[in-house]
Amino acid sequence: MVEYNDLIFEISRPGRIGSSLPESDVESVDIQNKLPKHLIRDVPAELPEVSELQLVRHYTALSNKNHGIDNGFYPLGSCTMKYNPKINEDVARLEGFSRIHPYQPVETVQGALEVLYELQEELAVITGMDAVTLQPSAGAQGEWTGLMMVKAYHAQKGETRKQVLVPDSAHGTNPASATVAGFETITIPSNENGLVNLEELKKHVGPDTAALMLTNPNTLGLFEKEIVEIAQVVHEAGGLLYYDGANANAILGKTTPGQMGFDIVHLNLHKTFTTPHGGGGPGAGPVGVKEKLIPFLPVPRVEKDGGNYVLNSNHPLSIGRVKGYYGNFGILLRAYTYIRTMGPEGLRQVSESAVLHANYLRKRLEPYFEAPYAQICKHEFVLSGSRQKKLGVRTLDMAKRLLDFGYHPPTIYFPLNVEECLMIEPTETESKETLDAFADVMIQISKEVEENPGIVLEAPHSTVIGRLDEVQAARQPILRYEKAVEVEKETVKS
């Protein structure tokens, strides 16, 4: 049902006020003469004028419209929307962490540096790498950081290798990061089993290969069984192996990129290590490297000198600083808390449950949807809506129909090598009841497609706004307050 409040976007009234400030008791500065002319406003800023209660209701109403992991199932493949334990928030809020400043002398923030140091060590163990930087603030920035180290590594040997190989199932950030780092991307097609085609790979590997970027398990949720051979082929040609570890949910405590033969890996702490994400908020994409790449890590590095923790910038081969200060500290704290509360056994359990849940859902749904790779999967799996498409209903329509049942849809139309793709990642934190309820709804939708397709084609029926123009919403988002025009109020009245 559409509420009256949902239609009134403009609640500002001239002169209404939500706060009261005490009289200023400092002498006012003559701004006109102190600031450059072009920085001074001619007219006062047009800010919304609302009471405190209206403001509270406005933001509460907005938060209620937002679907998050705390209010419902969110099986977004490749994005690992798992539950984020609240103890992480408690720790990130501790005054000793939240009220320090990056410019403080290092002697006064030894505890914070100890956390960073220990997190580096733990992530090195988890990934099978020799050293880790915590600086990058997203997976994509981690990729770019890793590739800049690849470049520096080859340059140090007097080589200018230009090509980065990326399989066709890769996350879009892989070719994008390679391009931003100045490489040329070569796409390697998958074979009929959804895995890297070793013969194709061999054709493209050569003296110009800087690196191969790979995710294992790949974005189809399948484990690259030939990973050792793949690593050998690339290494023999003098290239490096980059592991996209954004989603490490299937390998924690089971295997490591280091064991598989990778030289560089990034992790998304805001996926695998329970930092809330999805709204474009802060993230963290630490990068681990093998011994031979340590000299190129970003500076300053958090190191231990006797009993003290130090920030060391004295690494002449470093690619430099990639982020202001030392990374997104609050996110790093949450990941540290998560790793310490789970322990090695707990992290192993994460992988086992994530894989079990994915396979349980896969088995329940396979009779109702096309399953291009019907085999044991890791933490996620793909289905195809091609059967439903023949009946005139597309995957997008089924995704919209899921909204009517209070679920966030899975990732759709990715990876690109699966027609009408649905990519489902239930994560380890859901109960069997939730998995069953979701499966029941998916099965119901598949039946609706056959018996009453209109209800799917016109979905969603229960949300405040129906289908958005997603292209326009992405290309021309209205991100700042603009006083609403009179027309809107009239529409409400009529």
Give the residue with the Cβ less far from ligand PLP, 140 or 335: 140
By CB under 6 A, which span of 204-212, 240-248, 361-369, 391-399 interacts with ligand PLP? 240-248
Q: How is residue 146 written in tokens?
A: 């890793």
Residues facing residue 132 across a β-bridge: 288
Cis peptide before 316 (omega within 30 of 0): no
- The CB-nearest residue to ligand PLP is 139
* CB distance 313 to 320 below 8 Å: no
Is 171 an interacting residue with respect to ligand PLP (CB under 6 A)? Answer: yes
Residues facing residue 190 across a β-bridge: 196
Give the residue with the Cβ less far from ligand PLP, 151 or 266: 266
Q: Which residues contact 240 (CB under 8 A, 6 or more apart)?
A: 150, 153, 210, 211, 212, 234, 263, 264, 293
d(CA 449, CA 417): 24
* CB distance 178 to 155 below 8 Å: no
Q: How is residue 420 written in tokens?
A: 């009408």
Give the nearest distance from C-beta 177 to ligand PLP in angstroms: 9
End-to-end alpha carbon distance in the chain:
18
Give the nearest distance from C-beta 139 to ligand PLP in angstroms: 2
Is 249 an interacting residue with respect to ligand PLP (CB under 6 A)? Answer: no
By CB under 6 A, which span of 44-52, 243-251, 429-437, 453-461 interacts with ligand PLP? 243-251
Give the nearest distance from C-beta 171 to ligand PLP in angstroms: 3
Give the residue with the Cβ less far from ligand PLP, 285 or 385: 285
The identity of residue 419, as a single letter, is E
Give the residue with the Cβ less far from ligand PLP, 116 or 213: 213
d(CA 38, CA 59): 33
Give the nearest distance from C-beta 423 to ligand PLP in angstroms: 10
Is 283 an interacting residue with respect to ligand PLP (CB under 6 A)? Answer: yes
Is 221 an interacting residue with respect to ligand PLP (CB under 6 A)? Answer: no
Listing DSSP states for 261-293 in one string gives T-SEEEE-TTTTT----SSS------EEE-GGG
Q: Which residues contact 228 (CB under 8 A, 6 or more apart)?
A: 260, 261
Give the nearest distance from C-beta 78 to ligand PLP in angstroms: 4
Q: Which of 285, 288, 385, 426 forms a contact with ligand PLP (CB under 6 A)? A: 285
Is 430 an interacting residue with respect to ligand PLP (CB under 6 A)? Answer: no
Contact pattern from residue 130 through residue 149 relative to ligand PLP, giving x for each residue in contact according to CB under 6 A and a dash for the rest:
--------xxx---------
Q: How buried is 389 (Cβ within 10 angstroms: 0-12 exposed, 13-18 middle, 19+ buried)?
A: middle
d(CA 131, CA 448): 53
Q: Which of 216, 268, 359, 446 forms a contact with ligand PLP (CB under 6 A)? A: 268
Give start and end residues of each alpha helix (H) in 157-269. Answer: 173-180, 198-204, 227-236, 257-260
Give the residue with the Cβ less far from ligand PLP, 177 or 359: 177
By CB under 6 A, which span of 89-97, 244-252, 363-371, 434-442 interacts with ligand PLP? 244-252
Is 427 an interacting residue with respect to ligand PLP (CB under 6 A)? Answer: no
Is 411 an interacting residue with respect to ligand PLP (CB under 6 A)? Answer: no
Q: Which of 67, 69, 78, 435 forms a contact with ligand PLP (CB under 6 A)? A: 78
Give the nearest distance from C-beta 285 to ligand PLP in angstroms: 6
Q: How is residue 403 written in tokens?
A: 């909204």
Give the nearest distance from C-beta 163 to ligand PLP in angstroms: 20
Is 215 an interacting residue with respect to ligand PLP (CB under 6 A)? Answer: yes
| Residue with token string 């960073």 | 116
d(CA 387, CA 390): 6
Is 82 an interacting residue with respect to ligand PLP (CB under 6 A)? Answer: no
Is 167 an interacting residue with respect to ligand PLP (CB under 6 A)? Answer: no
Give the residue with the Cβ less far from ligand PLP, 78 or 120: 78
Q: Which residues contact 343 (CB under 8 A, 6 or more apart)?
A: none
Contact positions vs ligand PLP (CB under 6 A): 78-79, 138-140, 171, 173, 215, 244, 246-247, 268, 283, 285
